[in-house]
């Protein structure tokens, strides 16, 4: 008699593992994809900020040559991630705290999971004080 109750109980729970799996996957997959998207955006943002700062320092060391700073920034971005993120690079001469400064601004859009579609807009800025010749 006890064996028949176990067999009946097991038959009533058949397919429960599939349902449990689906319930867990429905929660887990969006969570993992969301974490991957945040990681991708943070990586691109940090890379753009580093390239903008490097371009500003390079331009400041070259006597304020905006073209040299822009070229250096584009090279850094192209080498680190992809050239498509270096399409909108601006170099300006500004004054910060009374000091002549080079400012490099990079605007980019990071698509969802790097695949395409609507993306997250990122702006990274780098500054460096111009060195006298």
Q: What is the pLDDT of residues 59-75, one digit of tens each?
A: 998 777 889 999 999 99
Which one has a higher pLDDT value, 13 or 84? Answer: 84
Percentage above 90 pLDDT, the chain: 53
- The reply to whether the predicted model has a pTM over 0.85 is no
CA angle 133, 51, 81 (to 5 degrees): 150
Q: Where are the beta strands (DSSP E) in the chain?
A: 88-96, 99-112, 116-129
Total Cβ atoms within 10 A of residue 79: 11
Q: Are 49 and 108 in contact, with CB atoms under 8 Å apart?
A: no
Q: Please choose, from the candidates 106, 108, 110, 130, the residue with its C-alpha nearest in 3D space to the C-alpha of residue 49.
A: 106
- The two tokens of residue 95 are 């004054």
Averaged pLDDT for residues 108-119: 79
What is the predicted pLDDT for the residue at 3? 56
The yes-or-no verdict on residue 132 having pLDDT over 80 is: no
Q: Where are the beta strands (DSSP E) in 15-98?
A: 88-96
What is the predicted pLDDT for the residue at 114? 64
Q: What is the pLDDT of residues 85-97, one digit of tens each?
A: 888 999 999 998 8
What is the predicted pLDDT for the residue at 6? 56
């Amino acid at each position: 008699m006890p064996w028949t109750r176990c067999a009946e109980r097991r038959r009533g729970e058949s397919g429960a593992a599939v349902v449990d799996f689906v319930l867990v996957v429905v929660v887990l997959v969006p969570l993992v994809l969301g974490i991957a998207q945040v990681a991708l955006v943070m990586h691109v943002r940090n890379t753009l900020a580093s390239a903008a700062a490097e371009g500003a320092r390079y331009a400041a060391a070259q006597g304020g040559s905006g073209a040299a700073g822009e070229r250096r920034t584009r090279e850094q971005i192209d080498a680190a991630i992809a050239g498509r993120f270096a399409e909108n690079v601006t170099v300006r001469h500004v004054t910060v705290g009374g000091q002549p400064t080079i400012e490099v601004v990079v605007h980019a859009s990071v698509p969802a999971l790097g695949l395409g579609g609507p993306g997250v807009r990122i702006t990274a800025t780098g500054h460096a004080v111009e060195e006298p010749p």
